[in-house]
C-alpha cells in the first residue's frame, strides 16, 4: 500500500502544472490552462490507465507496470498533442511548430518537463519502494 500511495501522490503532483495557463500568448486570444491536456481523450485514458495500473491487481505483475508506464507516457503525449493542435481550430487553421512555440507560455514547458520527470520518478519508485 505504501508504494501505491507514493505513486499516486507523485502522479497527482506531476499534474499540478496543468492548473497554470499554458497556451495563449497572442492579443485577443484567451489564455488556456493545461487542463485541456487532461480532458482530451489521450489525457483521460492516461490518467485512468495509470490509476488502474496502481490499484488493480493482475495475475501477471508486468501488466501493472505496463499500465502505469502507459499512463505516465500518455500524459506526455497528451501535452505534446495539444501543443501542436490547440491553436489550429480557432486561430491559425494549420498545424505549425512555429505557431505552437510562439503561442505556448513557459508554463507549458515547465509542465512538460515535470511530466517527463514523472516517468523517471515512476521507474525509481517502482524499483526502490516495496509494497
Look up the pTM and report it.
0.86
Instruction: Give the CA dihedral 88, 94, 98, 100, nearest 10 degrees.
Output: 20
pLDDT at 26: 64
Residue 38: is its pLDDT beyond 90? no
Task: Please choose, from the candidates 58, 75, 60, 104, the residue with its C-alpha nearest in 3D space to the C-alpha of residue 10.
Answer: 75
What distance in Å separates the CA atoms of residue 96 and residue 116, rounded to the nearest whole number? 23
pLDDT at 94: 86
> What DSSP designation does 113 have?
H
User: What nine digits make up the cell of 89?
Assistant: 481550430
pLDDT at 92: 78
22 to each of 9, 18, 52, how far by Cα in Å? 23, 8, 28
Amino acid at each position: 500500500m505504501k508504494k501505491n500511495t507514493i505513486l499516486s501522490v507523485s502522479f497527482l503532483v506531476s499534474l499540478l502544472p496543468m492548473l497554470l495557463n499554458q497556451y495563449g500568448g497572442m492579443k485577443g486570444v484567451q489564455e488556456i490552462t493545461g487542463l485541456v491536456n487532461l480532458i482530451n481523450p489521450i489525457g483521460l485514458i492516461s490518467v485512468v490507465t495509470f490509476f488502474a495500473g496502481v490499484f488493480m491487481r493482475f495475475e501477471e505483475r508486468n501488466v501493472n507496470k505496463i499500465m502505469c508506464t502507459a499512463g505516465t507516457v500518455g500524459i506526455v503525449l497528451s501535452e505534446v498533442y495539444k501543443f501542436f493542435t490547440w491553436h489550429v481550430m480557432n486561430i491559425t487553421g494549420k498545424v505549425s511548430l512555429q505557431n505552437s512555440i510562439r503561442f505556448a507560455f513557459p508554463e507549458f514547458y515547465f509542465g512538460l518537463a515535470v511530466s517527463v520527470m514523472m516517468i523517471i520518478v515512476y521507474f525509481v519508485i517502482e524499483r526502490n519502494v516495496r509494497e
